[in-house]
Amino acid sequence: MHTVFYDTKKQMVSLQGSRSTYAIKLYNSNLPMHMYWGPKIGSIKDPGTFFSHERAFAIRVKDRDTSFFIEEMHFEYGFSETGDFRIPAFSIRDGRNYPVTGPFETVFRIHERKPEIQGLPAARMKKDEKLESLEIVMSDTLSGLEISLHYTMFPEDDALVRNVSFHNRGDSAIRIEKAASMSLDILNRGFELLYLPGVWAGERRVMRTPLVPGSISFGSTRGISSHQFNPACALLEADTNEFRGSAYGFNLIYSGNFLTEFELNQDQNVRINMGIHPDSFEWQLEPEQRFDTPEAVLVYSDGGINGMSGQFHRFIQERIVPPGFKHRERPVLFNNWEATYFNFDEKVLKELTDGVSDLGIELFVLDDGWFEGRNSDETSLGDWYADRKKLPGGLRSFGEYVEKKGMLFGLWIEPEMISRRSELAQLHPDWHISNPGRPLSEGRNQLVLDLSRTEVCDFLIDTVDKLLSSALIQYVKWDMNRYITGFAALHLPVSRQKEVYHRYILGLYRIMKTITEKYPEVLFEGCAGGGGRFDLGILFFMPQFWTSDNTDAVSRIRIQYGTSIFYPPITMGAHVSIVPNHQVGRCTPLKMRACTAMSGNLGYELDLRRQKVEELEEIRQQIQFYKKYRRLIQFGRFIRLQSPFDTNEAAWMFLEKDGSDFIFFWFRLHAEAEKAVSKIRLSYLVPDKIYREDSFPLEYTGSELMHGGLPLPQVEGEYASLMFVFHGN
């Protein structure tokens, strides 16, 4: 299928999705200009001369050429130090330490396949799939640097992936100080930025703010993508809502330090840059070497925020997560963390196992505290073998017990970390990240292993491999519980010191790739103190992530709602926990906790030995219900209906892809007096289908539900929730 169309006469390329177009023009043979991104248009006739005039204070890029004004033009990769005074996409020094400035001699090349990206996860191509890809090659004759902008359109989801490679074809080393994965200039249309700021236990809050003259930027310098800012964001036209209007979504397939910048200038131009955070980055590129940036994903939707989410959700399922998990149902799990913390032994674990197997749980996850000497968070990270005091028979024997009870066995690990009090630290006292001569900075009483070192990564691959082959482990919760600080690289030369944060991520990805490819059947769930590394980079290797350490239903409704804007519910681990809740102290009904957790991959994380018989019966029924409908929940279309950030209520639904059955969830966060009768309008139903809910019973046409709305019964009390299953005929 053709997706890239090149008009050689006009020097214009368009990338065509099924409902969107992205167009680029090569101006003056050296300026790749952004021409268009939005609803699908066929051929583009615009000659791009709109910009060719001179203005006061215009900087002439070349000699006395006054035919264009660079600061006003819309580019595909923002220049630095050329008279384009917006935030540059790149900053590079040549062998003399002089700035490498454009414009560069530029050509378009079209390839049959998306190019490989060295060492980084990237959108997956199917076997033997042909999908055209555009390369814009900008060559700097002076330094020999070649900058290639790569573009591939995945037409089914209107997802355009972009990245940049830098190839040193000169004969002296080049220093890259900033290298955005994508950069783009578009004319402001009253844009508002939607992004997801947060905090530990309060990840991914929905924030929408107008762009104002100047710049807005967010990112991470914590070594991981972070609880504070997720890389995903969107530009919305001012009247765009969940169901209508233009949404331009962005995400980055990367798990380390990143920076996203939006700058609105005097010409109503919006520049967008997204990529590795330049504050903690530099790369020395020797002759003949190539550096590839992470890949960015751009999605255009004219169907509002839900439309954009749907495209991202499908794209993640089809092109990001490991292919073996694309269609695989996720088991209902039990996790012992909030039930026992570090305080357990085999007897306790067996009691828990006995209790949960009877309820229909399919996977028993043994969380932190199982390995040698780990009775608190002050010790033992690195010593990944069973504590015989707690597990006299070792992991294998306990795993067999779990299996005998008819469940899979899962294990928590935190391989990237090392405790000062550990055998590993005795054996390799110099393997952790440090800054010699300065105090060691600890977080949660632990240090981080230096994954920029090959031998440390090799050791971890070997250790995790041995662990997985030693017992019957079919699920792994891969945790990462601190930010990275004070990172000096003892093994790297002076000129490469600022490469360490990116090298850490390259090391991490090599480990994850090797392990997950060797154990393709094992279900991996990423975790970083909850959702501190919930990003496309990790999802490429691990198809789900522990969404947040906060298991309080009210908090979770917001967290899952925010997360769902860019990530499908099947990527979210969600557990029912005890009340009063351990993170916020709130008591919510079991029903609300279950409705919330069922809206992701359902798990239970509480001491079921202390639950009343009626509660256990309720849990048994919840699990039965979830199993019956989990295909719909995990693989159906997720639609947000009402935002808990704007109102005291939240509502969403999961719809079969063919528009037939759906499950509707509604929550009220706090009790209200004199509550008016309310109706919620549903979406994406088949207008003339009859939808029936048997338990109430209710019956409506699709049109009625979409235009008139679903009337909600009056529900009394604090933390109310409703769940309806409709079957369409």
Query: Interface with ligand GLA by CB under 6 A: which residues?
Result: 337, 367-368, 412, 479, 481, 527, 529-530, 546, 549
**N-term to C-term CA, the chain:** 36
Q: 210 is written with which tokens?
A: 């107008």
Longest dimension (CA), the chain: 86
Nearer to ligand GLA, 75 or 412 (CB): 412
The 10 Å Cβ neighbour count of residue 445 is 15
Nearer to ligand GLA, 35 or 512 (CB): 512
Q: Is the preceding peptide bond at 103 cis, omega within 30 degrees of 0?
A: yes
The residue from 479, 535, 552, 661 that is catalytic is: 479
| Burial class of 17 by CB neighbour count within 10 A (0 to 12, 13 to 18, 19+) | buried
> Distance between CA atoms of 150 and 167, rounded to whole angstroms?
13
Taking the complex as a whole, how short is the minimal distance between the CB of residue 147 and ligand GLA, in angstroms? 40
Closest CA to 512 of 554, 543, 470, 552: 543
Task: List, as one string, the DSSP characters of 319-385.
Answer: IIS-GGGSSPPPPPEEE-HHHHTT---HHHHHHHHHHHHTTT--EEEE-SS-BTT-SSTTB-TT--S
Q: How many residues does the chain have?
A: 729
Nearer to ligand GLA, 387 or 549 (CB): 549
Taking the complex as a whole, how short is the minimal distance between the CB of residue 218 and ligand GLA, in angstroms? 23
Taking the complex as a whole, how short is the minimal distance between the CB of residue 258 and ligand GLA, in angstroms? 21
Nearer to ligand GLA, 378 or 704 (CB): 378
**What b/e sequence results for 634-658 when a residue is b if at least 16 CB atoms lie within 10 Å of its CB, and e otherwise?**
bbbbbbbbbbbeeeebbbbbbbbee
> Distance between CA atoms of 412 and 392, rounded to whole angstroms?
18
Q: 90 is written with which tokens?
A: 């790149």
Kindly list the strands in the beta sheet with 637-642, ordered across the sheet, starting from the edge strand earlier in the chain. 637-642, 649-655, 662-668, 720-728, 690-693, 698-701
Nearer to ligand GLA, 498 or 575 (CB): 575
Question: Cβ neighbours of residue 130 under 8 Å, at least 6 residues apart?
Answer: 1, 112, 113
Taking the complex as a whole, how short is the minimal distance between the CB of residue 726 and ligand GLA, in angstroms? 34
Nearer to ligand GLA, 337 or 398 (CB): 337
Nearer to ligand GLA, 150 or 482 (CB): 482
Query: Is 479 labeled as catalytic in the residue annotation?
Result: yes
> Distance between CA atoms of 230 and 249, rounded to whole angstroms?
13
Nearer to ligand GLA, 103 or 410 (CB): 410
Rounded alpha-carbon distances, angstroms, from residue 570 to 174, 326, 327, 546, 567:
43, 10, 10, 11, 8
Question: Do residues 89 and 180 make contact, with C-beta atoms less than 8 angstroms apart?
Answer: yes
Taking the complex as a whole, how short is the minimal distance between the CB of residue 574 and ligand GLA, in angstroms? 12
Taking the complex as a whole, how short is the minimal distance between the CB of residue 578 and ligand GLA, in angstroms? 14
**In 419-547, beta strands by DSSP E:** 447-448, 473-478, 523-526, 544-546
Pairing of β 637-642 and β 12-16: unpaired
Nearer to ligand GLA, 78 or 600 (CB): 600
Residue 499 DSSP code: G
Question: If residue 691 lies in a helix (H) or strand (E), which one and from where to where?
Answer: strand 690-693
Taking the complex as a whole, how short is the minimal distance between the CB of residue 181 and ligand GLA, in angstroms? 28
Nearest residue by C-beta to ligand GLA? 368
Closest CA to 399 of 346, 435, 361: 346
Taking the complex as a whole, how short is the minimal distance between the CB of residue 201 and ligand GLA, in angstroms? 10
Half-sphere exposure in the Cβ direction for 236 (13 Å, CA): 25
Nearer to ligand GLA, 550 or 643 (CB): 550
The residue from 367, 549, 552, 661 that is catalytic is: 549
> Distance between CA atoms of 206 and 209, rounded to whole angstroms?
10
Nearer to ligand GLA, 220 or 309 (CB): 220
Pairing of β 649-655 and β 662-668: antiparallel
Q: 464 is written with which tokens?
A: 């995790």
Question: Do residues 571 and 551 make contact, with C-beta atoms less than 8 angstroms apart?
Answer: no
Taking the complex as a whole, how short is the minimal distance between the CB of residue 224 and ligand GLA, in angstroms? 13
Catalytic residues: 479, 549
